[in-house]
Amino acid sequence: MMKVVNTLRIEKGRVKEVAERFQKAKAVHTFNGFVLMEVLIKENTEEYDELQVCTTWEDYASFEVWKKSRETREAHASQEKQGKENSPILGSELATFEVFVQHHPA
């Protein structure tokens, strides 16, 4: 299993605006190998707000299929059309992790 974390740096005070974009399930939820999505808002930041969009996948190959999909390209293209001038997103960083250990309630 693997986890993908997209960390977004956001203009101070606009994190909820960006987080709300993830309220409804999108195409990613329909892909084979998709397990879970979590959207995390970092607390107590000073210079900018931070949001992490974390997806869990059964394997790296499933994530790659989603990443290269038409749905992903179209979703990101529509965001770019909205223009970077009004975008509260200052930058982002994508990281992938192998899920080595996971504990669930007994």
pTM, full prediction: 0.86
The domains of the chain are located at 2-98
pLDDT-based confidence at 28, cuts 50/70/90? very high
Residue 96 has pLDDT above 90, yes or no: yes
Tokens of 77: 């293209």
Contacts of 42 (CB under 8 A, 6+ apart): 49, 50, 51, 52
pLDDT (tens digit per residue) in 30-73: 999 999 999 999 999 999 999 999 999 999 999 999 999 987 77
Distance CA 37, CA 34 (A): 8
Domain 2-98 matching CATH 3.30.70.100: the answer reads yes
